Chain A
Amino acid sequence: MSDQAILPRGLGAPLGAGGAGVGGRPRRAPWVAHSILPGFGLSLGITLVYLGAIVVLPLTALALRPWELGLDGVWRALTAPRVAAAFRLSFGLSALAALLNAPLGLLIGWTLTRYSFPGRRIMDALVDLPFALPTAVAGIALTAIYAPTAPLGHFAARFGIKTAFSPLGIFIALVFIGLPFVVRSVQPVLQELDREVEEAATTLGANAFQRAVRVILPTLAPALISGVSLAFARAVGEYGSVIFIAGNMPMRTEIAPLIIVMKLEQYDYAGAAAVGLAMVVIAFGSLLLINGLQLFLARRGRV
């Protein structure tokens, strides 16, 4: 008798894919591709449980919470002028910061991989610092040089530019924390660029600009996009490093995560969840879009 007979119908199929049925012929659900690796059922089971407990469960709780306010209440919570302004600020600045990091991160990755010069390894290690620093430390550090009384902030103020406690300050912090994502995404691809491909382009008459734009950049595009999307996702959720430099003025320099914290402090858990859910939806939507674009680019030439 097959081991599947004692299992509920739904569970039998994926478990059966792991081993051969007693009758000799492997029993497998038709939608499971054949693999010679054993343990598919067990590993998929653990994957599902873990993902469910760690990712899906909290997100479900988040998704359910706001509705105790009613559809109307959620709508009002999200469209309150202060909340809407925070959304615009957070997503807008995050996108701008990620876009600035695209060329600059690419350039830094390029410099660090394509040339060799003294101090290259130290510079390479420096790139990781925004990753490694506790975000609050980054926030204090940034405020320490960009505050109106601090050296850089003072210098900028002489030209009438306000750095800290303005959207520009938030932008600087988001650029800071997003940079490593872009650099670290493009570096491995740059490292594996085939020298001969560039040499071939040169012998065919391409100048340096044509080689960069028509040969190297298309190869890098998927990695670059993935780096930019990571930087964007990180920037949207960034709290620690922004909160000191932002100044947190209502309607002007309040970021969306701060709105959540404020609502929580006022025991408005449903309202906080509503803002949180909206952030998840927007962020997830943009990531889907970016991943789709990346997939499209990566598919070309690699089918």
Chain B
Amino acid sequence: MKGKNALAVDIGGTFTDVVLQLNQRLHATKVLTTRDDPSEAVIAGIQQLFKESGVSAEHISLVLHGTTLATNAIIERRGAKTALLTTAGHRDILEMAFENRFEQYDVNIERPTPLVPRKLRIPIAERVTANGDILVPLDESSVQQSIDLLLEEEVESVAIGFLHAYRNGDHEARVADLVRDRMNSVPLSLSSDVCPEIREYERLSTTCANAYVLPLMSKYLLSLQEKLNALDFRCPYLMMTSGGGLTSLETAAKYPIRLVESGPAGGAILACVIARELALDQVLSFDMGGTTAKLCLLDQGKTILSRAFEVDRTYRFKKGSGLPVRIPVIEMVEIGAGGGSIAQVDKLGRIQIGPESAGSTPGPACYGSGGTEPTVTDADCVLGRLDPNNFAGGQLQLDTPAATQAISTKVGNPLELSLKDTALGISEIVDENMTAAAQSHATEWGKSVHNRTLIAFGGAAPLHAARMLEKMNLARVIIPEGAGVGSAIGFIFAPISYEVVRSRHLLLSEFDEKLVNEIIQDMREEANAVVASALQFSEEVTETATAFMRYVGQGHEVTVSFGADSINRQLLQQNFENTYTELYGKLIPGAEIEVMSWTLNVSTKTQGIESVEDSGHDSASVNESLKIHELVDIHGTHKATVVGRETLSPDTAVEGPALITEKHTTTVVPLGYQVRKLIPSNHLSLERMST
């Protein structure tokens, strides 16, 4: 990163975070997201930082960007008018989905509305079989008729998805040519290109989601580029993807579905960088914002990568209530637990938290903007974890009586609990939900949370991190520099990378080294081309190859890593058996093994932090230190010292009970814990004191 001045922008649902890394210093700001034209907030944030730091666009060597726009377009169904050309006889794949109810005990559920309505799911006479043979040749006259319909309906984006196209994409390619001949400008998304993987519902869902957000995203990316150019930016722009890698604007505009979870991915990358910097082998990253908490496991500074993600979980964030997309994603668990999550009492007298959130309007009751529902932030306020006079750098005066009122009326009184017990109960339940999610996620991946170091960022995480440590019996949490804008900082360190997939079924007993090497070479060429297009100068790249393998007869594959240039049957079998044992304990004696799909990821190296000196330039004026504040926790009521983060000196530890305040968050240090500033990184390390 030496000498590189990078600007990172993370557009979230509520806030747009802009971070400027300038000669090893960080400048950061949060501005409200402008929904109609998101680039406005971006430009406003940039100009604010330019003013503050005194630099201008020509000093910037790289712009990095992540956004939830694609996700929001899907959630709010604001995407393009999209058509799907699909195998005749199968036009309802997208809507029939898994034919299940994601909630057993509710007869009134609604299944997600498909992104393409039935009348625009247009049957094409053609059929490819499971082994790639042509059973029914493509009927080009039926394609021409469908193009008439596309024109008549003024369709803005076209997805093409045929059965078994992951195996043989010729028909899709031919139809694309025919469409292009008559509709020059309409963007096309082919399932054999966007997601060449077996299982038609997931493949088509991904392809249609890509088509649905494509016009909007490419328009936005273009408009942003123009605005940046107008500000005299002369540097390259790269986009953050959900897989934790950066990619070029051109690739992002072609596969915008790969951008959906970019903000959280940035946070995970930041955690990776810190884990390597501090040589932490086992880490749990904990990102808690206004609406959700994201928890992610890192081993040896690496996240788990997977290909399963769900957008728009409409029913209490419940698995299965959203639209599946198969894209490279950093595996993490996301639950409806944030500062704005609302607490209520169910009919069993149990406190339930979220997933409904008070959002930014009206926001938690203590914001004093008319919110009457008790939220996690209200509980934090009542428990003394927030300094009412110095919230958000003093921009917002917290209304403690309003928080008290909301908590007592909606939760305390029905349960006949005191105010403090109620607030503690709310905090405990949300902490427990996050703990359970982390543990369950670890189990799912054959891992455990034991002995991990927590890395906490996002506005609400440092308030809850210490209690999470206690619950998981961990020893230490790191609160990064700039914790409140962690995702955007993560972008700066992300590698340039691209992952491709191929579904090619292969029995291990019939392993064909030549065939597999051909598949790998094919993927390598595609991935290298994309990575090269985003590189400013040639850089060393690494390859990570995986196979999705299972015992013949099983329905779910395990992800097995292998070296792309040294693949052989024994190695694959050995790696499969190691992974299987790690996940499920026992191998199945004598069962045959098969590979369903292959992926190859080509990536530059993740940047490391090289002596970021004196980066404590948080622009907020923070309070004078040594104020005393009443802090309530599960062990009792304490007198806590309030200390501004920038006043901490590296050689003195502050013992709890204490609050460490900064512009975008507060770190709670309970009795029995101490916090110190690390040099040279300026991260905080909060640790349990030996007794």
Chain A complexes with chain B: no
Residues of B within 8 A of A (CB): none
Question: A interface vs B, CB < 8 Å?
Answer: none
